[in-house]
Amino acid sequence: MAIKIKFAHMADIHIGATSDPNMKGLELQTLEGAFNRCLREGVDFVIIAGDIFHVNIPDLEVVKGAVEIFKRFVDTGRKIYVVYGSHDFSPNTASIVDIIEAAGLVKRVGKPSAAGERLMPEVVKDERTGATLTGISGRRGLRERDAFEALDREGLSHLKGFRIFVFHTSLDEIKREDEKYDSMPLSLLPDGFDYYAGGHIHRIIDKVIDGKRVVYPGPLFTGWGGDLEDTVAGERRGFFVVEVGEGGGLGVEFIAMRPFEGELIRINADGRSASDVNSELAAVTRRHDLGGKVVVIKVCGELSSGKTSDVDFAAVRKGLADAGAIYVHLSRNQLRTKEFEAATIKGETNAQIEEGIFSEMSGAVKGTNERLTKSCTEVARLLLAQLRSQKLEGETQRDYDARMMAAAKTVLGIAEG
């Protein structure tokens, strides 16, 4: 196939998502590796379908690293086309995406280009290839749906050349049965595009549905939470390279990135004591094959005795760090203890239900802190109110954690130090 256009399609890079120095380094290394690969592949341009950064105003240190990588790429005469993602957009303040666009490093496609009830997103023509790009940026809570509904479909149907629609939105039709998140119907994507470059879904999808070639590369690098677990468990991460033939035929290849060696360790705590689980965790720290790896330890099940706080996660984290692990992620959300059996409470409002549960569980709180033992329900209610406080626009994870910790200590009456 004679190649007319070649481009790369990335999404959900989430630069700055992790605060761990080692992971930060890996994050930028992966980004650099991806762009170097793009150059080796000879792509004409790169599309990043949203969530380049994890927040709209990220840590400037990681921004600097990313800017250097982008600059090296655009200095070769190639372009990077982007849309906002749900993470790196803010309706109230500027986004780092706006700043790097102003610096000429990226070009945001799909800006509203006409007033009125219908939305005609700006269409960009790639000078190097003649490809036509437009799209719609993502927003939190699927607020971009309004833009899709207002699209001037008639206007978009007249576009010429190889047409790419870039978006950062999940689609109903490709949701897995176990996935529950906001999504919109495929029918809201405008008809007639040759390639629908998607972002927001953190897995690889390449499907033709009702005549639309819808592609999601998933994240390039995953440094946190469930995504990290999946990556360590073997889920592929990377980006697509797309070749468009003279006749319009598409060749779509996934380029897998392997940012780190990982190890997923599952520990079933069901029916075991906290000290049993500690013994098994200690054995993990003595393993010699975990050096240089990202280690995810997933502990789940119901302890037969002891509290979840009796499981010494700090020790295992330290032990593995001493053993040379690059990063340790502890997943303990599914660890439960019998001492806190499930309480079934009925109530008309969330507040009533919460109050009921706190009251039901208050008897299980023991200790010498009178504030906790005597006013347990009130303290729990205040603590929950504090924990509901969301991260502020532009607030880093570290600042957020510190603010939450201080508020929690105040509520619990625990002195600083």
Partner 1 sequence: MAELGSNTKEAVGQIVEGSNECLVMREKKGVDLELGDLIAVDSGNKKFITMVSALEYGSNIDVERIYRSAGTELEKQHYDVAFLDPDINLFRKVLTKILLEVKVEGGKLKARSPRSIPEFMSKARMVDEGDFSFLETPEDKITIGKLRSGSKRLKCDYCMDGSKMLSHHVLISAQTGRGKSNLVKVMLWEAMKHERFGVLVLDVHNEYHGSGNQAGLKDHPKARDRLVYYSKDPPPGQRALKINLRSIDPQDIVGVLNLSEAQSEAAYLFRNKFGRDWIKGIMGNGDDKVSPSTLRALRRKFENLFRMVEQADGSYSCNSDVFSMEAVGESTVRDMADDLEKGKVVLIDGSSISDDTGLVIMSAILEDVFRRYEGYKTRGELDVVPQLAVVLEEAPRVLAEGTTSNIFSRIAREGRKFKIGLVAITQLVSVIPIDILANIGTKIIMGNEMAFERQKLIDSAAQDLSAYGQIIAGLDKGESIVSSIFSQFPVPVYTPLFDEVVRDEKELGGTGYQERRTTKFY
Give catalytic residues, as residue numbers. 87
* Among 417, 339, 351, residue whose Cα is nearest residue 380: 351
CB 313 within 8 A of CB 274: no
> Within 13 Å, how many C-alpha atoms sit on residue 8's CB side?
26
Residue type, 71: K
Q: What token pair was written down for 273?
A: 């004591």
Nearer to partner 1, 204 or 323 (CB): 204
Nearer to partner 1, 224 or 254 (CB): 254
Q: What token pair was written down for 394?
A: 């532009």
Nearer to partner 1, 173 or 280 (CB): 173
* Among 193, 53, 176, residue whose Cα is nearest residue 136: 193
Give min distance, CB of 283 to partner 1, in A.
35
Give min distance, CB of 252 to partner 1, in A.
16
Give min distance, CB of 149 to partner 1, in A.
6
Nearer to partner 1, 137 or 169 (CB): 137
CA distance 401 to 396: 9
Give min distance, CB of 72 to partner 1, in A.
28
Using the 8-state DSSP alphabet, how is residue 277 labeled? H
Chain positions contacting partner 1, by CB under 8 A: 84, 89, 91, 111-112, 119, 137, 139, 146-151, 153, 172-177, 179, 185-188, 205, 207, 209-210
Give min distance, CB of 136 to partner 1, in A.
8
Nearer to partner 1, 127 or 210 (CB): 210
Residues 6+ apart with CB under 8 A from 26: 221, 223, 259, 260, 326
Give min distance, CB of 354 to partner 1, in A.
17
- Checking DSSP bridges between strand 79-82 and strand 327-331, what pairing results, if any? unpaired
CA distance 196 to 163: 9
CA distance 297 to 327: 11
How many angstroms separate the Cα of 251 from the Cα of each of 78, 150, 412?
A: 20, 32, 59
Nearer to partner 1, 210 or 270 (CB): 210
CA of residue 321 relative to chain centroid, distance: 25
Q: What token pair was written down for 411?
A: 């509520």
* Among 130, 189, 186, 117, residue whose Cα is nearest residue 156: 189
CB 159 within 8 A of CB 105: no
